[in-house]
Amino acid sequence: MKAIAREIVRRCSHGERVALCTVVGTKGSTPQARGAKMLVLAGGQTLGTLGGGCVEAEVRSQAIKLLSTGTSKALRFSLDHDYGWDDGLICGGNMEIFIDVLRDRDVDRFAEIADALEQERSATFEFRYAIDEREQRYIEDLGPPPVLVIAGAGHVGQALAALAAELEFRVDVIDDRVEYLTEARFPRARARIIGEIESALREYPINADTYVVIVTRGHRNDGRALAAVVSSPAKYVGLIGSKRKIKAIMDDLAAQGVDRSSLLRVHAPIGFDIGAVTVPEIALSIAAELVAVRRGCADRAVEPMKIQPAQLEQWLDRERR
């Protein structure tokens, strides 16, 4: 949202109109959730996405038309056999999208949103719209992205930091090796904290929006790092390593008096089992688990989204009848 808000301010400050398209409601299976946004410029360029496909193309087309008239409009889409076949978008759900044509009068409120997000403060995005002749109110609480603390600046930490930045985590990296924790290796890290890892973690301001990943260079460092954060309020604590190593560290922490509930919440071994072998694959498996926790899906079994052959066979059999 920060990039979109800044673009709105930049464009509208110079007298341009832009159209902010927001998913205000969904039901059933849809390509994007409530809150997804796409900014459409007068020339047809876009920033953000509504999920791609025919819905996004139609919204873009409608937005360009509305920009010429200066009016806003709410649209409803039914993603069934009657819509989306050509573009492969038969999700079976419904989407409501509001196209809000913005101009110079809207600069101040979007400048406030952009400023708040840049300063890592919360902001509220709200507006009123009408659909089916009924006035609706849309309210969305915007907060800064979650913080990911990576303890360990080795190969896995480096790969994960790059991927996590793309996933809109604010990334801080901790290591005691100056030669590893460089701007060249971590160009998108918010902070590169050089110091003894356990001490740095104990001093770090961890809260309920903090994710901690422990990928240090050895068993002893991993154990000390985990001891520093295992009882913290972090939303996620993950530890890399084999099951044998994890058991040894857990046994040691239990012997030190760490309560069982704190140990049970640790994600260890870290990541999803995708058969990862290379460093980028390992980073991907960890990032997937971070996303699952962030989106509230971590407690369910990880399975492919692919339709099972038996179910597909049933569908095909029904079509033949």
pLDDT at 77 over 50: yes
CA angle 226, 215, 253 (to 5 degrees): 20
Taking alpha carbons only, the member of 309, 282, 307 closest to residue 150 is 282
pLDDT of residue 29: 72
* More reliable by pLDDT, 310 or 292: 292
pLDDT at 219: 84
Assess whether pLDDT exceeds 90 at residue 17: yes
Convert the pLDDT of each residue in 101-158 to its tens digit.
Answer: 999 999 999 999 999 998 889 999 999 999 888 999 999 999 888 999 999 999 999 9
For residue 85, is pLDDT > 50? Answer: no
Which among 230, 152, 224, 135 has a CA at the least distance from the CA of 186?
Answer: 152
Question: Using DSSP, how many helices (H) and how many strands (E) does the chain show?
Answer: 10, 12
Q: Are 266 and 238 in contact (CB under 8 A)?
A: yes
Residues 237-284 pLDDT 10s: 999 999 999 999 999 999 999 999 999 999 999 999 999 999 999 999
Domains and CATH numbers, the chain: 2-142 (no CATH), 147-294 (3.40.50.720)
